[in-house]
Amino acid sequence: MFTAIVVAGIAVALWKPSSRSPIEKKSTARTTQVHAEGQSPRDRRLDPARYQRLAARLLGMPGESTMTEAARDGESSFHRMVDSFSSDDFAGVLAELASLEGQGKDPAIAELRLKLLQAWTEKDPSAAASFALGGTIPADACRVIAETWAKHDSTASLIWARQLPEGGRRQAALIGTGNHLASDNPKQAIELAQEAGASPAAEELLGQATGIWAAKDPQAALSWASGMKDPSLKDKLITAAAMSLSDQDPTAAAGLVIDAVNSDSLTENAVVGIVQRLAFKDMAQAHEWVAEFPEGRMRERAEMELARITERTGAKRP
């Protein structure tokens, strides 16, 4: 009896259950495997070969038009992939794409870089912006970051844009922030376009914001546009305001363009554009209005536009 008790005691002493949980065991096993491979998880994330594989997968993905129905029902395959990216992944793949773009290997690379920057900004705008500050990404990439960030925090986006050094990237970032602000705060968007300096993109933002402002406060917007010193820009901004007003009163909008815009080609294009907008709302009214135009090139172009719309839409001529 004594012998049995001693044997049992020795067995209990020798058998000690592990104090580690199943999760700890699994983690230890994974760590052991990683050490055996000679790479930590972060080392693998920073592996250039891995970024080459990720870039190749992204470049090989089908466009939205060729995606399967299952993929279209949810997120695109692109977004499902990059949703799992860390900031290291975004930076590494972007660097790989920049290298490939420099070699001229695929014309789709530039578009993919912009998509990646947009996705990164949606996920972690501060990290994406810091990457842009420390790198040499092109101006259009700065515009994408600023415009995407402004959707969530326009103040932070603007602060970042103003931190960029003078030049094309700073100009693009200011315009990107302004593009987002234009719909709700057109006057601030105009200020940002002017701060950015003269460029086709800034001029486009000025026109967009002026049109939105005119829809909210026609008198103030037209007064401001009429005070522009640059005759060409003045004509374009007055035209933008008139186009915005044409939905409410196309005749008055056309009269504004004819009276206030000095450029004959811009006047003609604007009036034909107003005819087009009216035709899609009320074809009969558009025909009645054009019939009152004096004979000449503007009337001929307006009639041709109405005929084109009638043929395309199947609308009946009154």
Give pLDDT tens digits along the chain (318 positions).
444 443 444 333 433 444 443 333 433 443 333 333 333 444 445 688 999 999 999 988 765 544 455 445 445 788 889 999 999 999 999 999 988 877 765 778 889 999 999 999 999 999 999 998 877 788 999 999 999 999 999 999 999 999 999 999 999 999 999 999 999 999 999 999 999 999 999 999 999 999 999 999 999 999 999 999 999 999 999 999 999 999 889 999 999 999 999 999 999 999 999 999 999 999 999 999 999 999 999 999 999 999 999 988 776 555
Q: What is the pTM of this model?
A: 0.75
CB 257 within 8 A of CB 251: no
Give pLDDT, residue 31. Answer: 35
> Can you say whether residue 197 is alpha, beta or left, with left for phi > 0 and alpha for psi between -120 and 50 degrees?
left
**Amino acid present at 187:** K
Domain residue spans of the chain? 46-57+77-123, 137-216, 217-318
Q: Tell me the torsion sign for CA atoms 151, 153, 154, 157.
A: negative
Distance CA 288, CA 278 (A): 11
Q: Tell me the torsion sign for CA atoms 256, 259, 263, 268.
A: positive
Start-to-end CA distance of the chain, whole Å, equals 116
Give pLDDT, residue 315. Answer: 60
Give pLDDT, residue 136. Answer: 72
Q: Is 242 helix (H, G, I), strand (E, B) or coil?
A: helix
> Can you say whether residue 196 is alpha, beta or left, with left for phi > 0 and alpha for psi between -120 and 50 degrees?
alpha
Place of tokens 């050094």: 165
| Distances 171 to 22, 116, 142, 153, 295 between C-alpha atoms, Å | 55, 21, 9, 19, 45
| Distances 107 to 42, 78, 113, 285 between C-alpha atoms, Å | 31, 18, 11, 47
In the chain, alpha helices (H): 2-14, 22-37, 41-45, 48-59, 69-73, 77-82, 87-102, 109-123, 125-134, 139-163, 168-181, 186-196, 200-216, 218-226, 231-245, 250-260, 264-281, 283-291, 297-313
Give pLDDT, residue 76. Answer: 79
Cα angle 150, 62, 74; round to 5: 60
* Residue 75 DSSP class: S
Give pLDDT, residue 247. Answer: 86
CB 158 within 8 A of CB 131: no
Say how many C-beta atoms besides its own lie within 10 A of residue 130's C-beta: 14
Report the interhelical angle of 168-181 vs 200-216 (nearest 10°).
Answer: 20
Give pLDDT, residue 104. Answer: 67
Distance CA 170, CA 165 (A): 6
